[in-house]
Structure 1
Amino acid sequence: MTQQRLDRDSFVPMYYQLQQALISDMDEGVHRPGDRLPSESELCDSYGVSRTVVRQALRELEISGRIVRRKGQGSFVTPPKTSERLVQTLTGLHEDVTSRGGTMRSDVRRLERVPATPEVAAELAIAPGDPVIVLDRLRFVDEIPWVVVVTYLPYALCPGLLEEDLTHQSLYALLEDKYGIEISWGRRQVEAVPAPAAVGQALDIRRGSPVLLLSSTSYAPDGRPVEYFVASHRGDLSRFEVRLERRRGVPRNPLLTVQSAGT
């Protein structure tokens, strides 16, 4: 391999320079998701550095989630994590993915009218047993199973939704453009949990692997609840960005409360 140049006179540590060089190669498509990186010895020869430097660089890349290291096989580039914004704008996963040039597809596993359970009724401010639409989707980002999401909406708001094809459509865009339902704000809870067997099977991960469990209720401008969902995101592929603001005179609260993006 042709030897690459690192700045040996720089105050920046050699392992960090190598780490950034490899990240640059990943971002430019030299090493694509799923590709195996050159071996430790090949990286040593290519960059003229010690094995200690190479191992530290690879360790940092693994910690940051850019690569996965498999014993006896080598280091492999991971798919980029999808960021969902929790505050900046009230967008859904469909908008977040397509805005970065990715593709979004949903396998609609259930779409029907059902009576609201007490939990769902409480979130949507309706009576238990009132009709709701349940929408169960396995969602794929760039054809990788990414999230299982079950959404509930009051049936009276959009009965025609039962006839829609939601394979490639954004639910939020459909609600706004066709049914005139404006979603103004929301509240969301996020917690890390082990994947149940059914979720693990759907997301192609092992049972017990970490998933990010989101529960969210979205509201119209007048404060009326219009949507409640529970979503299980793959923990190895998803991250959430949160903007925090400090306001003078606001009492401290041990709970972090943010407005949320939808699905």
Structure 2
Amino acid sequence: MTMEATLEGVRERLYLKVKGQIVERIEQLRPGVLIPPERDLAVAYETSRTTVRKAVAELVTEGRLVRRQGSGTYVAEPKLAWPLSVSDFNGHAEAETEGLRTCTILLGTERIAAGEELADRLGMRPGAEILSMQLLRSVNDAPMALECVHVVGRRYCGLEAEIAASEFVYEVLRKRISDRVARAVETIETVPAAPSQAALLGTEIGTPMLLVTQHGHTAQGEPVEWVQTWYRGDRYSFVAHITKPQAHAGRHLMPT
């Protein structure tokens, strides 16, 4: 082993030790408490500010800490375990059964001409009318996610007025749209928060977000919806219950 590799190993062990010490500290603090500045932590743990900065940055990425521009670094709220389902409006209802207060606010709607990608996803010809809805979703009064729902416009005449007249936006969307969804393809990826998203969700520009896209279909394979949802990466973890498929009854291997 070279001297350079040995030094790198020492630095890595020191960094992990400091990170562990910071984790022990924040586990004893309430969410929302301001932690000491990096220079004070470096003195307390007898290490460099570079090591502390790396540990704090990683804890921010993991959602244990949250930075507020011009204010400091705080202990983050615990992450919410959000169930994955064929429609996230159903997941919204499941969250309420866990005692969480959920709220969906309609930010805006527009009817647009379908480009090639959306037309293909919704089984339409390019140029046909698409109804696009932008939603802000909150849990326990804290903004958590931005959602954009795309559906075939001609199927949902008057939906905007129905949503505007209701106090329970997600109930209307569930009954009118997501109850038709029997199966869906869902993808999850990480993206940085854009300025508009950061402003609405109360987070920093560039903060890791979880972008969840869902393409819902009826049991007969007809496209129903194309949904994009940006979740705060520091507040969410997704949970899926997976069952191992059972072997088909009566199926045996036969000698050849």
Q: Which TM-score applies when normalising by structure 2?
A: 0.64
Say which SS state the counterpart of residue 227 (structure 1) adopts.
strand
1:128–1:103 Cα change, 3 Å: same
1:184 maps to 2:185: no
Residue number among 107, 110, 129 corresponding to 1:109 in the alignment: 107
Task: Specify which of 204, 223, 226 is matched with residue 228 of structure 1.
Answer: 226
* Contact 1:150-1:230 at 8 Å conserved across structures: yes
Structure with the bigger percentage of helix? 2
Q: What does the per-residue CA deviation read over 1:77-129, in whole Å, with 9 as the maximum and x for residues that have no partner?
A: 53232223225x65524213312212222332211322222221111111111
Q: Does 1:169 align with 2:174?
A: no
Contact residue 66 and residue 77 of structure 1 kept, 8 A = no
- Which residue of 2 is the match for residue 132 of structure 1? 130
Q: Distance in 2 between matches of 1:115 and 1:101?
A: 40
| Residue of structure 2 equivalent to 1:149 | 147
In structure 1, what residue type is equivalent to 2:123? Answer: A
Q: Is the 8 A contact 1:149 1:232 kept in 2?
A: yes
When the two chains are superposed, the root-mean-square deviation of aligned CA atoms in Å is: 4.0
CA contact (8 A) 2:133 2:149 kept: yes
* Separation in 2, partners of 1:63, 1:152: 33
Gaps of 5+ in 2: 1-19, 36-44, 46-55, 248-256
Task: Find the aligned partners of 1:181 and 1:138 in 2 and give their Cα distance.
Answer: 21
Letter of the structure 2 residue corresponding to residue 105 of structure 1: C
In structure 2, which of residues 61, 65, 68 is the aligned counterpart of residue 68 of structure 1?
A: 65
- The aligned length equals 209
Partner of 2:32: 34
Q: Which runs of 5+ in 1 are unaligned?
A: 1-14, 24-30, 38-50, 52-58, 250-263
Distance 2:92 2:242 in 1: 24
* SS of residue matched to 1:98: helix
User: Quick check: 1:82–1:237 contact (8 Å CA) kept in 2?
Assistant: yes
Which digits, 9 at most, give the CA deviation of each residue in 1:120-150, with x for residues without a partner? 1111111111112110112222121211111
CA distance in 1, matches of 2:246, 2:176: 42
Indicate if the aligned counterparts of 2:63 and 2:235 stay in contact, CA closer than 8 A: no
Distance 1:148 1:66 in 2: 18
SS of equivalent residue, structure 1 residue 80:
coil
2:199 alignment partner, SS class: helix
Q: 1:83: which partner in 2?
A: 81
Task: State the distance in 1 between where 2:193 and 2:153 align.
Answer: 30
